[in-house]
């Protein structure tokens, strides 16, 4: 038998053992080992997860609907409550697209859609920095696979010119806001490229942008005005929407094909109807969270400005890296910030390139500008 204990000890020795942190939540604060810290590592971008007004209003309504807390089945068997189809119809309408399909999570979506759609005549070309769930989906698909340098569309164009004639179709995959650098894709440039070739399918993951970007919160594709041009527009409900699950906007044909072939959709119990009702409740309110989006942009601009020259200039969103460089230095700085009441986490290679160990700030609308001022004055004093 493999010596798992030795592997764990090796991880410990190299300082890369992961543990599930024991934390408690108190609004925008996190409590850990008796210390109360402002949470600067949250995906609750609009601050909705801790809003008791929304929660109480929703729970009052839920009592009336009597929606169950489990679907007890895959949607293809007996789990297809009308709330799923209602939500899909609503979402398709809001995005002005033909069809929408819901999934249990972004991880299910990314590991299910690509293997269902790709075959031996398919090439998948992905940005170098796409999320692990997309990589897993690509590997599961068994399709031919290439990566282009991060946001380097000239490189992508060369790859497409060289490789695309040999395949029936090429799926180009990107995130809209990237998880680690917080920079954004130029979606219109990708749409242009797609139109320049006869056989390209464009796949965009809006996990970090849904709720946060666009005038009604529909994501970066809304902001860049190209929702109609992205074949496969994916997003999650677990971050800014403070719920759980994921969606795909696509054509009727793709939706029907996925219902017949996508394994995580077919072979997993559907999300609880009550959970879908909460997602729908938040999604319906999304256009009304303009104040939250504005506050998030305000604090993000401020932190980016203050971290200019050490990572702030890389970001174009509420995810902002503070690049420290060496692993040990990065850990010490994160610990110092935590002692001073700011919960932030070091991110090290191999998650990010060697020599770019960083503290990754992930801001929310609940954070105020004074907190950013305090944070950055501490950063400038310890560096």
Ligand X SMILES: *Cc1c(COP(=O)(O)O)cnc(C)c1O
**Does 182 participate in binding ligand X (rule CB under 6 A)?**
no
Name which position in 50, 133, 243, 295 contacts ligand X (CB under 6 A): 133
Kindly tell me which of 220 and 371 has the beta carbon lying closer to ligand X.
Answer: 220
End-to-end Cα separation, the chain, in angstroms: 47
Q: Among 44, 88, 127, 175, which one carries the catalytic annotation?
A: 175
Residue 135 CB, shortest distance to ligand X, in Å, is 10
Question: CA–CA separation, 91 vs 126, rounded Å?
Answer: 26
Q: In this structure, are residues 63 and 382 in contact, taking their beta carbons and an 8 Å threshold? A: no
CB of 236 vs ligand X, minimal distance in Å = 4
Which residue out of 43, 199, 268, 327 is catalytically annotated? 43
Can you tell me which residue has the tokens 């300082």? 15
Distance in Å, CB of 107 to ligand X, minimum: 4
Q: Of residues 50, 111, 236, 317, which one binds ligand X by CB under 6 A?
A: 236
- If the CB atoms of residues 164 and 181 are measured against ligand X, the closer one turns out to be 181
Q: Which of 28, 108, 194, 208 is catalytic?
A: 208
Least distance to ligand X from the beta carbon of 161, Å?
Answer: 27
- By CB under 6 A, what part of segment 362-381 binds ligand X? none
> Please, what is the minimum distance in Å from the beta carbon of residue 205 to ligand X?
5
| Closer to ligand X by Cβ: residue 47 or 167 | 47
Minimal distance, residue 201 CB to ligand X, in Å:
18
Residue 205 contacts ligand X per CB under 6 A: yes
Catalytic residue at 43? yes
Q: 137 or 346, CB closer to ligand X?
A: 137
Q: Are strands 357-362 and 319-325 parallel, antiparallel or unpaired?
A: antiparallel
| Residue placing its CB nearer to ligand X in the complex, 107 or 278 | 107
Binding mask of the shown chain, residues 152 to 181, with x at each position contacting ligand X by CB under 6 A: -----------------------x---x--
Please state the three-class secondary structure of the chain as a single string: CCCHHHHHHHHHHCCCCCCCCCCEEECCEEEECCEEEEECECCCCCCCCCCHHHHHHHHHHHHHHCCCCCCCCCCCCCCCCHHHHHHHHHHHHHHCCCEEEEECCHHHHHHHHHHHHCCCCEEEEEECCCCHHHHHHHHHHCCEEEEECCCCHHHHHHHHHHHHHHCCEEEEEEECECCCCCCECCHHHHHHHHHHCCCEEEEEECCCCCCCCCCCCCCHHHHCCCHHHCCEEEEECCCCCCCCCEEEEECHHHHHHHHHHCHHHHCCCCCCHHHHHHHHHHHHHHHHCHHHHHHHHHHHHHHHHHCCCCCCCCCCCCEEEEEEECHHHHHHHHHHHHHCCEECEEECCCCCCCCCEEEEEECCCCCCHHHHHHHHHHHHHHC
Q: How far is the CB of 89 from ligand X (least distance, A)?
A: 22
Kindly state whether residue 131 participates in binding ligand X, applying the rule CB under 6 A: yes
Least distance between ligand X and beta carbon 308 (Å): 25
Considering the complex, state which of residue 230 and residue 379 has its C-beta at the smaller distance from ligand X.
Answer: 230
Residue with tokens 């440039």: 189
Query: What is the C-alpha separation between 117 and 370, in angstroms, rounded?
Result: 48
Nearer Cβ to ligand X (179/356): 179
- Catalytic-labelled residue, pool 28, 194, 239, 306: 239
Binding string, residues 77-116; x marks residues near ligand X by CB under 6 A: ----------------------------xxx--x------
User: 369, 302 in Cβ contact below 8 A?
Assistant: yes
* Residue among 104, 105, 179, 317 flagged as catalytic: 179
DSSP bridge partners of 201: 171
- Of 127, 183, 205, 222, the catalytic one is 205
Does residue 205 have an active-site annotation? yes
- Which residue has its beta carbon closest to ligand X? 106
- CA–CA distance, 264 with 251 (Å, rounded to integer): 19
Catalytic-residue membership of 179: yes
Judge whether 239 counts as a catalytic residue. Answer: yes
128 is catalytic: no
**Which amino acids are annotated catalytic?**
43, 131, 175, 179, 205, 208, 239
Residues at the interface with ligand X (CB under 6 A): 105-107, 110, 131, 133, 175, 179, 205, 207-208, 236, 238, 246
């Amino acid at each position: 038998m493999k010596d798992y204990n030795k592997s764990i000890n090796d991880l410990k020795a190299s300082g890369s053992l992961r543990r599930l942190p024991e934390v408690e939540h108190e609004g925008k604060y996190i409590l850990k080992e008796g210390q109360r810290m402002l949470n600067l590592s949250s995906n609750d971008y609009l601050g909705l997860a801790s809003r008791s007004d929304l929660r109480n209003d929703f729970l009052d309504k839920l009592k009336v609907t009597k929606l169950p807390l489990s679907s007890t089945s895959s949607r293809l068997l007996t789990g297809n409550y009308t709330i799923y189809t209602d939500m899909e119809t609503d979402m398709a309408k809001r995005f002005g697209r033909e069809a929408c399909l819901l999934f249990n999570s972004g991880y299910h979506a990314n590991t299910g859609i690509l293997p269902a759609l790709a075959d031996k005549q398919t090439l998948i070309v992905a940005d170098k920095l796409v999320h692990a769930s997309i990589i897993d989906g690509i590997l599961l698909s068994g399709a031919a696979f290439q990566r282009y340098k991060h946001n380097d569309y000239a490189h992508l164009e060369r790859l497409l010119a060289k490789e695309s004639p040999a395949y029936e179709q090429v799926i180009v995959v990107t995130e809209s806001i990237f998880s680690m650098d917080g920079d954004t894709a130029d979606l219109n440039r990708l749409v242009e490229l797609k139109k320049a070739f006869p056989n390209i399918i464009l796949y965009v993951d809006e996990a970090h942008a849904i709720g946060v970007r666009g005038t009604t919160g529909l994501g970066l594709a809304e902001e860049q005005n190209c929702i109609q041009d992205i074949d496969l527009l994916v997003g999650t409900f677990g971050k800014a929407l403070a719920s759980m699950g994921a969606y795909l906007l696509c054509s009727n044909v793709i939706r029907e094909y996925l219902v017949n072939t996508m394994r995580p959709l077919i072979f997993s119990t559907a999300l609880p109807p009550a959970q879908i009702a909460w997602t729908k409740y938040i999604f319906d309110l999304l256009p009304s969270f303009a104040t939250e989006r504005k506050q998030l942009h305000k604090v993000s601009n401020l932190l980016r400005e203050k971290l200019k020259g050490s990572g702030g200039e890389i970001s174009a969103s509420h995810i902002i890296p503070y690049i420290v460089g060496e692993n040990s230095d990065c850990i010490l700085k994160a610990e110092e910030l935590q002692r001073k009441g700011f919960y932030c986490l070091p991110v090290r290679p191999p998650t990010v390139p060697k020599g770019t160990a960083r503290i990754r700030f992930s801001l929310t609308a609940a954070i105020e500008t004074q907190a950013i001022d305090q944070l950055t004055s501490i950063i400038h004093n310890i560096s």
